[in-house]
Structure 1
């Protein structure tokens, strides 16, 4: 049974924010927290000029400081530490294999640029079937919270984006479970587009658009029925609209505690395979983003 939460730490502000988020998640789940520091010192040194012994001391210090801070905040939380060797993404993915959740930090770039999701984080997301949460630094999280009153996602709690054309069981289960743990609202977002044939029509028939919208809404509601029955205490709302999935989801998740997106399971040597919606949310949503792999 996967009975702990794993978080990558490297001493940065972003990883400390991720560790604090992961600690709260572990407490909600009532499971231990595993702190992992993974660096390939030979091929990708974080500190140029630092030898193996100095690197080991630096890694131990990063883990010790993170563990001490979290223990001070949460004395009852069981904390473990690990310092595996190897390429960071592969090491983190290996550590995630027996975990319920992998948590990583990401850096804000400011303005409209969004957030920097580094190659290690993207590769780790692609290399594991375990759900991965990317957490922004504390400044970005405060900005997200302060913008919640004016944002379309005000009081949104958790937001999940779904695609009715794909099997989203794992995505929905993760989102409903998180909402149930937190006792917060869950907003399900889906967008649709007119059939390709309409691109050849000189004008859009508003009646047809409304009919398609109603049909899609019914499909979404039918899709959610099993989860509504399984999680009767979760307050669920739906947002079904025509337009860009990424834009609608980013708008809906302003001020949210967590946004959940799916990614298709694709095992390929060609690198990370994130859909355009997941990619946009990872780079532009201020809230923590959970990426859940599904068939």
Structure 2
């Protein structure tokens, strides 16, 4: 954890923003961090003539933030929270804010609803290019539990995702559920018959061992499923309060490729999803 870094929340006028902000508030209290609310909007160019405040976009944007700050302070005593109205395009404003944050939290309208952070280019860009963890929260996420699920690739485990998941489980006092889905072995199919190579159980145990030693108080449950990863990880998430997934470096291009597992999880997982970039 970087000293002094806030948990930043991207806020818009949709119903998913308050649940995302409340998730961030609970997380901030667990970590003794402050919450920073960001609302980005494009001011008119050239500037619009002076308008009565009820017709002024900046007035309603500021009102949105002010009301949400009050709601968070009332609901989470002791929370340190600030809000900022940023007159910039959404993607660069949030990516800049995320660079100085412990994590960035966004409300997601991913479950079958057009638009929203995920389904539009905004969500794809931020998930693909955020340099710190990005948390996607749905308005209808199931009640929180202390358990944390993490998807583990055996070919090349994402150490940053494992660190984030173990730390989250330790702070919550929950079980870490380490999930490997898809092939039974970390090797390519051509090597699957080599008896000298370890099986999935041994590879998963090796990936988790250093983190078990660093977090000896965290109970760990290992899960294997033969389903393809995009389905298997999502199907093992119910019962967890958070699903953690690693993200490899994104290839440059006009439409970032997030991978089928992240795409499926943010659409269908019944809990918040943390996407953690590989360091």
Normalising to structure 2: TM-score of the pair? 0.86
Say if 2:216 is the partner of 1:223.
no
Deviation at 1:284, TM superposition (A): 1.1
Q: SS at 1:37's partner residue?
A: strand
CA distance in 2, matches of 1:276, 1:260: 15
After TM superposition, where is structure 1 displaced by more than 6 Å over at least 4 residues in a row?
A: 211-214
Deviations 1:19-46 (A, max 9, x none): 1111101111101110110122449xxx
Q: Distance between the aligned counterparts of 1:92 and 1:50, measured in 2? A: 29
Instruction: Please name the residue that 2:48 is paired with.
Output: none
Q: Summarize deviations over 1:83-102 as a string: whole Å, max 9, x none.
A: 11221011011011110010
Distance verdict in 2 for CA 1:125–1:215, change over 3 Å: same
How far, CA to CA, are the matches of 2:244 and 2:174 in structure 1?
14
Please list the CA deviations of residues 177-233 of structure 1 after superposition, one character each: whole Å capped at 9, or x if unmatched: 0001100111000124275459xxxxxx9xx69x79971110110111100000011
**Structure 1 residue 289 displacement after superposition:** 0.4
Q: TM-score, normalised by structure 1?
A: 0.81
2-side partners of 1:278 and 1:87: how far apart? Answer: 25
- CA displacement at 1:55 relative to structure 2: 1.3
Give 1 or 2: higher helix fraction. Answer: 1
Confirm whether residue 28 of structure 1 aligns to residue 18 of structure 2: no
Contact 2:4/2:33, CA 8 A, preserved across alignment: no
Q: Distance in 1 between matches of 2:120 and 2:83?
A: 23
2:234 to 250, 254, 272: 250
1:182-197 matches, within 5 Å, as 182-193=172-183, 195-197=188-190
Which segment drifts farther, 176-185 or 74-83?
74-83
Matched pairs, number: 266
Please state how far the C-alpha of 1:269 moved relative to its aligned partner. 4.0
What is the correspondence of 1:64-213 to structure 2 with a 5 Å cutoff? 64-107=66-109, 109=111, 117-137=119-139, 140-141=140-141, 144-145=142-143, 157-193=147-183, 195-197=188-190
- SS of the aligned residue for 1:122 comes to helix
Gaps of 5+ in 2: 46-50
- The secondary structure found in structure 2 opposite 1:3 is coil
C-alpha offsets along residues 124-154 of structure 1, whole Å, 9 cap, x if unaligned?
Answer: 12221110000000xx22xx34xx9xxxxxx
1:135 counterpart SS class = strand
Unpaired runs of 5+ residues, structure 1, are 44-48, 149-154, 199-204
Aligned to 2:278: 294
State the partner residue of 1:4. 6
Deviation at 1:116, TM superposition (A): 5.7
Are the aligned partners of 1:213 and 1:241 in contact in 2 as well (CA < 8 Å)? no
Q: Structure 1 CA distance, aligned partners of 2:110 and 2:200? A: 36
Q: Which moved more, 1:30-39 or 1:4-13?
A: 4-13
Quote how far apart the aligned CAs of 1:273 are.
2.7
Structure 1 residue aligned with 2:250: 266
Q: 2:60: which partner in 1?
A: 58
Which position in structure 1 is the counterpart of 2:264?
Answer: 280
